[in-house]
A and B are shown apart, each in its own frame.
Chain A
């Protein structure tokens, strides 16, 4: 199709490109093409008879949010669609789908979200004939992780393998997914509208250019354990300073690249007869290996590993290692350590541009063996005045509203971190909105994080209301949701007056319990059914007035 000379130029170009660059260029060209097509077809209004099914797999709710948004876009264009959570979708119905849309996030080592694991496995093992089905997949992920959008990509590839046709190229979306998703929605809409005219076949997948994240080097200037003696917790307050200014906003997170300890890498390397090469393991993920990695390891070692999640060292110690298994063979199985995110606990305006974090050293036991979280341990051990590389992870879905808006912050444990940032920011900028904080931990005496600062904010009126729940200070446990319930009337009034509601902290059980309590409060205060309460909370969420940062 191309003239000889043009084709030569193209071949020349391609020869200089890396594989990644070719993929990018491929996407770029497809994007150009798509834009042109959009422009051309603007005027055509085509009645569409196809009824697409939108399947989402979500961990934090973002995929679900996008699925509903897409449904709304389609509806405006007179296209009826069905939205369904992946765990409720019967995979045997695949063959009956005309147009299948999948929005899938990626967790951990390229895995699908918990709720979508069964769907993912069923699709992967399916032998359905999907030659009559067209499809589009949007992958959500975080480009800081090595296997960015891997789960979505795998579904896209598998659907193509089963004979389905790509209506729209596979799209990866990073943390700031809104613009990418909106563009992708437009492509879907267009593709649906074209469906009656004639099917276009797109075989290649497209990869959005990965937004490059700037790595900074910070100096750990100050470290202190916030818990007093006798506490069961060990929560570190760490202050990081940089030479160059770092731009961040309240609500943003900071990403770190933790490294394995020498003790652990040396033990592994020694077990593999390569003690001198232990350093090569420093940045490899050797903790909490996924089922997939364990399967690969099981093949390599020639043993049957029964664990579904385990640390490499434990496996190597538990199972016999064939002398033929080399260090190199093992290390090639290992993925790089994924960076870890922490909510920033400071505000640039209030803390001279420093970045503060609130890190609970995570300790637990597996089969009676005491363990600690890789990154929390790494940060807890990190020496004062040491250089610490990091990047800023923008969190556009967890932002302060306009300065005159009221906010309710629910942040037990280290969930208080972003709210310290919020309060410091609002204090420093003189924001007029009212602020209400719910905080909880185990003991008042030892676990009241940032108590003196909170007292100061109460005294100066920055903090309008404070509710605390110290679970172990009395015989029956009291949690933040119990305090919410006690203040049901006021919470409801604040919401009626336009307050924004924030939750930060542990996803389970905290955020679920809090959400259920909020539904109860709305239902009882407004005297409505729980279904209606749910709609109200969903509306708040879609208006951006109910925001969660849970983990």
Chain B
């Protein structure tokens, strides 16, 4: 372990009395919409971020008003499936508190923005009544566990999906402070019942992400996670999981010690018990060896590289008490969602609805409300930020179709738009250097004529944009990645593949909109003239600009 000075967050965690801190006092502070500085770090562990509307700072300062603080709350929905009743509850809460916008995240859950401090308790209480919570949805703990979303890809979907919930529960912090702070403010739990052998009082050095992929789809971007589990199915049976470690995309502009890294497969486990044990102990290694002085270098990927993959594996085998088996073969052939109607092995219907960047538009929200009231389907969130209306009986399908028609839920969007992804960025994300979610739709509209010009409008070229290099929209795994460097300026990243197996690389730095469009015009022209048979845009640009031969 490093002897460097611990980062300030480490002290806050250790002194937080089970993540309680001074949250009780913060909630009653009536002069500010924010919580106290140390509690800003702690609310993350309860699934919230404090944000302020950066567009409004100057105007409010002039009015002698404090920054417009509000909270984003992110639910913990392992595997991303909720019932119609839970959708109704979420809908009602979002109408009463916050901005009214529901956003599907890249980690298969929902988040609400713009909640004011005094609305937090009623919001969380409302979710709890619907058996939903936001525990550990953010913070230095295991976050929402994601799993491939499309039940039709395998009859074993349900069995594998169950792992997401099992792992999430296994890795929950033991503190009961969530209920204490957000329900009644009363001290209700004996501290002795909160002993936490996994997180102790230090928690992890940094956030921790786990994904479960069900080949042939890699919709979860499995290699972008701290732990990636790839389900191995042979002869219609779940054999076990390939375990990949140390994935992570975030980098910091100007810090050469930071880098994106795809997860490395270190072996295979063939029973549930062994898989869970391995996952658990990977966390304990990260807890014990992770960098706690520099948060920019504290994700598992740096720990893996610091120890070396082999040494890490050895330490893991020592802790789990058995050897990992050799990895099994698998193939990924897709990453995008399958839009429209699909049927699974039980003849249940699933309808995938395109939600641009996960922001559910008002007419879509109205449609979903009416649908939920009919109790014909469940609601599933995909890692591509789309929504699946799931488990629909054959008999009920036409009623859903009628509603789809009533609300004109059509699939008119271009292939590129459906393959696009963006993070939240401005105005609420404190890290954002440039626009993303508010701007990418407009940029795609400007790119579409070029696609048409080169007859590429049916081509699912993936495009992803983030407002900063932290990678929430996984831009490093896109064929066209745009990473914000400043207002209206983006690094153009090329050479990533379509399925999330290969990182892209910087092609040109700090381009404005015109320059981006000019570059894409040239690139599309080259691609149509020079591509090999079946070569994707990402493979083409990689071959042309980045391959060594």
Residues of A within 8 A of B (CB): 224-228, 237, 444-446, 448-455, 458, 466-468, 473-474
Cβ contact of B31, chosen from A449, A455, A473, A474, cutoff 8 A: A455
B118 at the interface (CB under 8 A from A): yes
* Chain B residues within an 8 Å CB radius of A227: 63
Which of B60, B65, B66, B68 is the most central at the interface, judged by chain A CB atoms within 10 Å of its CB? B65
| Residue pair B30, A228 in contact (C-beta under 8 Å) | no
* Chain A residues within an 8 Å CB radius of B32: 455
User: Are A474 and B118 also in contact (CB < 8 A) when A444-B33, A455-B31 are?
Assistant: yes
Count how many pairs of residues, one from A and one from B, have CB atoms less than 8 Å apart in the complex: 48
Closest Cβ of chain A: how far from B300's Cβ, in Å?
39
Closest Cβ of chain B: how far from A308's Cβ, in Å?
39
* Chain B residues within an 8 Å CB radius of A225: 63
Closest Cβ of chain A: how far from B517's Cβ, in Å?
34
* Chain B residues within an 8 Å CB radius of A453: 64
| Residue pair A445, B64 in contact (C-beta under 8 Å) | no
| Residue pair A445, B30 in contact (C-beta under 8 Å) | no
The interface residues of chain B, by DSSP majority, are classed as loop
* Chain A residues within an 8 Å CB radius of B31: 451, 454-455, 458, 466, 468
| Residue pair A452, B61 in contact (C-beta under 8 Å) | yes
Closest Cβ of chain A: how far from B138's Cβ, in Å?
23
B62 at the interface (CB under 8 A from A): yes
* Chain B residues within an 8 Å CB radius of A445: 33, 68, 116
* Chain B residues within an 8 Å CB radius of A237: 64
Closest Cβ of chain A: how far from B489's Cβ, in Å?
29
| Residue pair B30, A226 in contact (C-beta under 8 Å) | no
Closest Cβ of chain B: how far from A382's Cβ, in Å?
18
Residue of chain A at shortest CB distance from B122:
A474
| Residue pair A468, B118 in contact (C-beta under 8 Å) | no
Interface residues of B in 440-488 (CB under 8 A from A): none
- Bound state CA distance, A391 and B179, in angstroms? 59
* Chain B residues within an 8 Å CB radius of A228: 56, 59-60, 63, 65, 68
| Residue pair A449, B118 in contact (C-beta under 8 Å) | no
- Bound state CA distance, A474 and B96, in angstroms? 10
| Residue pair A449, B30 in contact (C-beta under 8 Å) | no
| Residue pair A452, B66 in contact (C-beta under 8 Å) | yes
Which of B30, B56, B118 is the most central at the interface, judged by chain A CB atoms within 10 Å of its CB? B30
Cβ contact of B66, chosen from A226, A455, A468, cutoff 8 A: A455
Closest Cβ of chain B: how far from A221's Cβ, in Å?
14
* Chain B residues within an 8 Å CB radius of A468: 30-31
Closest Cβ of chain A: how far from B50's Cβ, in Å?
14
* Chain A residues within an 8 Å CB radius of B59: 228
- 13 interchain pairs (CB within 8 A)? A224-B62, A226-B65, A228-B56, A228-B63, A228-B65, A228-B68, A444-B118, A445-B68, A446-B65, A450-B64, A454-B31, A458-B31, A467-B30
* Chain B residues within an 8 Å CB radius of A448: 65-66
- Bound state CA distance, A468 and B116, in angstroms? 16
Interface size class of B (residues with CB under 8 A): 10 to 19
> 13 other contacts beyond A455-B32, A455-B66, with CB at 8 A cut-off?
A224-B62, A224-B64, A226-B64, A227-B63, A228-B59, A445-B116, A451-B65, A452-B64, A453-B64, A466-B31, A468-B30, A468-B31, A473-B116
- Bound state CA distance, A453 and B61, in angstroms? 11
- Bound state CA distance, A227 and B32, in angstroms? 16
| Residue pair B118, A451 in contact (C-beta under 8 Å) | no
- Bound state CA distance, A397 and B32, in angstroms? 33
- Bound state CA distance, A259 and B93, in angstroms? 49
* Chain B residues within an 8 Å CB radius of A466: 30-31
Closest Cβ of chain B: how far from A350's Cβ, in Å?
14
Closest Cβ of chain A: how far from B63's Cβ, in Å?
5
- Bound state CA distance, A455 and B69, in angstroms? 15
Interface residues of B in 302-361 (CB under 8 A from A): none
| Residue pair A452, B65 in contact (C-beta under 8 Å) | yes
* Chain A residues within an 8 Å CB radius of B66: 448, 451-452, 455
Closest Cβ of chain A: how far from B310's Cβ, in Å?
54
* Chain A residues within an 8 Å CB radius of B68: 228, 445
Closest Cβ of chain A: how far from B257's Cβ, in Å?
38
Residue of chain B at shortest CB distance from A225:
B63
- Bound state CA distance, A224 and B63, in angstroms? 6
Cβ contact of A226, chosen from B33, B63, B118, cutoff 8 A: B63
Which of A237, A448, A454 is the most central at the interface, judged by chain B CB atoms within 10 Å of its CB? A448
Closest Cβ of chain A: how far from B139's Cβ, in Å?
26
Residue of chain B at shortest CB distance from A467:
B30
* Chain A residues within an 8 Å CB radius of B30: 466-468
- Bound state CA distance, A173 and B116, in angstroms? 52
* Chain A residues within an 8 Å CB radius of B61: 452
* Chain B residues within an 8 Å CB radius of A446: 65
Residue of chain B at shortest CB distance from A454:
B31
Interface residues of B in 16-71 (CB under 8 A from A): 30-33, 56, 59-66, 68
Residue of chain B at shortest CB distance from A443:
B116
